[in-house]
Amino acid sequence: MSNTSLLSLFFFLSLCISPSLSDLCNPNDKKVLLKFKKSLNNPYVLASWNPKTDCCDWYCVTCDLTTNRINSLTIFAGDLPGQIPPEVGDLPYLETLMFHKLPSLTGPIQPAIAKLKNLKTLRISWTNISGPVPDFISQLTNLTFLELSFNNLSGTIPGSLSKLQKLGALHLDRNKLTGSIPESFGTFTGSIPDLYLSHNQLSGKIPASLGSMDFNTIDLSRNKLEGDASFLFGLNKTTQRIDVSRNLLEFNLSKVEFPESLTNLDLNHNKIFGSIPAQITSLENLGFLNVSYNRLCGPIPVGGKLQSFGYTEYFHNRCLCGAPFESCK
Ligand SMILES: *[C@@H]1O[C@H](CO)[C@@H](O)[C@H](O)[C@H]1NC(C)=O
Ligand SMILES: *[C@@H]1O[C@H](CO)[C@@H](O)[C@H](O)[C@H]1NC(C)=O
Ligand SMILES: *[C@@H]1O[C@H](CO)[C@@H](O)[C@H](O)[C@H]1NC(C)=O
Ligand SMILES: *[C@@H]1O[C@H](CO)[C@@H](O)[C@H](O)[C@H]1NC(C)=O
Ligand SMILES: *[C@@H]1O[C@H](CO)[C@@H](O)[C@H](O)[C@H]1NC(C)=O
Ligand SMILES: *[C@@H]1O[C@H](CO)[C@@H](O)[C@H](O)[C@H]1NC(C)=O
């Protein structure tokens, strides 16, 4: 027998004896994943994680096509009682980590996640994770998407998140976050993320520094924010969506200049006074407007999209007049 055929015979036999030799999966990654599964008491959602099979074929994970290292772990819509196990930090090639719609997932955001320097997407949403938004997230400098929405997170928002230069979206909405919006959120360098902070208990003034950011989307609705928000607007911006509804904001709308790019504007349930500026009729793409429940007065400007909105988008103000209300006297 030639050396080559001996070698292939050996290879063939070894395949039969130990299927793991044919695994694409990195043995360290496999070991870590099996420990992770065990820490969670072998939940049904991870039933496909069979030690006898290639972990690159398991559900909820994917391997990089060239290195075969585990690069994503995404678990969603299932029963996963317990906390995120620390083993998650031992998958050094992870770029995507997602826990979504897992009502029985509790405990803090696992500190070992700080080790995952290659993470680009971190999404822990619709779970019962609690505790603070940890400061260490700002060390994950490759993050482009951070979503921690619909959890039970409390405490204040770490200002250090503004150090994430590649962040395209920051979702911290629907938690129990308190304190004020960090001043540093007016100093994002690199990409300026879409900012979702709604449905929390944020209070105090919106930092004026946010006025120097050209956000595409900013949603601060359903908090306890007070004072001015006029600096979020401005003709030199390309903002599309602004939602500051259901806060305690109090400023004069009369002199505000709206970005031409605006598509959605929700100001409802505040204490905004003055009148609706006529310049708003020049916004060609304005598809949603709600200024109800404020203290606005004077004529609803005629033109643009303004008459395409109904009664409920304008009602409960001090003295707005003109269509869809009675004509001004
Ligand atoms: C958190 O747990 C409660 C019950 O303990 C459940 O009603 C709620 O839906 C859970 N929250 C989420 C976001 O899954
Ligand atoms: C970000 O990811 C690149 C590769 O995608 C990697 O080379 C780099 O080390 C990562 N950044 C950090 C801070 O680890
Ligand atoms: C949510 O967090 C609060 C503390 O902020 C805690 O008392 C409560 O038990 C948590 N709920 C769940 C379902 O973890
Ligand atoms: C818009 O102009 C204001 C001053 O008028 C300035 O402070 C702000 O940085 C400008 N914003 C952008 C996005 O250029
Ligand atoms: C709002 O600003 C306009 C324009 O400067 C001014 O005429 C008006 O008096 C102000 N309204 C109130 C209630 O201060
Ligand atoms: C505008 O907001 C008010 C107050 O929340 C609400 O009652 C109304 O239905 C809203 N209108 C539209 C079209 O969303």
Domains annotated for the chain, with CATH where assigned, are 228-329 (3.80.10.10)
Q: What is the pLDDT along the chain (329 residues), one digit of tens a residue?
A: 455 554 454 554 444 444 455 789 999 999 999 999 999 999 999 999 999 999 999 999 999 999 999 999 999 988 999 999 999 999 999 999 999 999 999 999 999 999 999 999 999 999 999 999 999 999 999 999 999 999 999 999 999 999 999 999 999 999 999 999 999 999 999 999 999 999 999 999 999 999 999 999 999 999 999 999 999 999 999 999 999 999 999 999 999 999 999 999 999 999 999 999 999 999 999 999 999 999 999 999 999 999 999 999 999 999 999 999 999 98
Identify the CA nearest to 120 among candidates 105, 132, 137, 133.
137
CA distance 54 to 61: 11
Ligand 4 cavity residues, CB under 6 Å: 212, 214, 234, 236-237
Tokens of 31: 């070991």
In a mutational test of the pocket of ligand 2, which residue from 142, 143, 166 has the highest number of ligand atoms less than 8 Å from its CB?
142
Distance 61 CA to ligand 3 centre (A): 29
Query: Is the minimum distance from the CB of 252 to ligand 5 under 6 angstroms?
Result: yes
Distance 104 CA to ligand 1 centre (A): 7
Distance 302 CA to ligand 6 centre (A): 21
Identify the CA nearest to 64 among candidates 21, 24, 121, 115.
24
Query: Is the minimum distance from the CB of 141 to ligand 2 under 6 angstroms?
Result: yes
Residue with CA closest to ligand 2 atom 5: 118
CA distance 165 to 191: 6
Residues sharing a CB contact under 8 Å with residue 318, sequence separation 6 or more, in sequence order:
273, 294, 295, 296, 297
CA distance 156 to 180: 7
* Strand partners of residue 218: 195, 242
Tokens of 275: 């009148």
Closest ligand to residue 266's CA = 6
* Strand partners of residue 147: 123, 171
Give the pTM.
0.91
Residue with CA closest to ligand 6 atom 9: 312
Query: Is the minimum distance from the CB of 67 to ligand 2 under 6 angstroms?
Result: no
Ordered DSSP codes for 223-237: SEEEE--GGG--TT-
Identify the CA nearest to 142 among candidates 159, 109, 165, 158.
165
In a mutational test of the pocket of ligand 6, which residue from 312, 316, 317 has the highest number of ligand atoms less than 8 Å from its CB?
312
- How far, rounded to the nearest angstrom, does the alpha carbon of residue 209 sit from its chain's CA centroid? 21
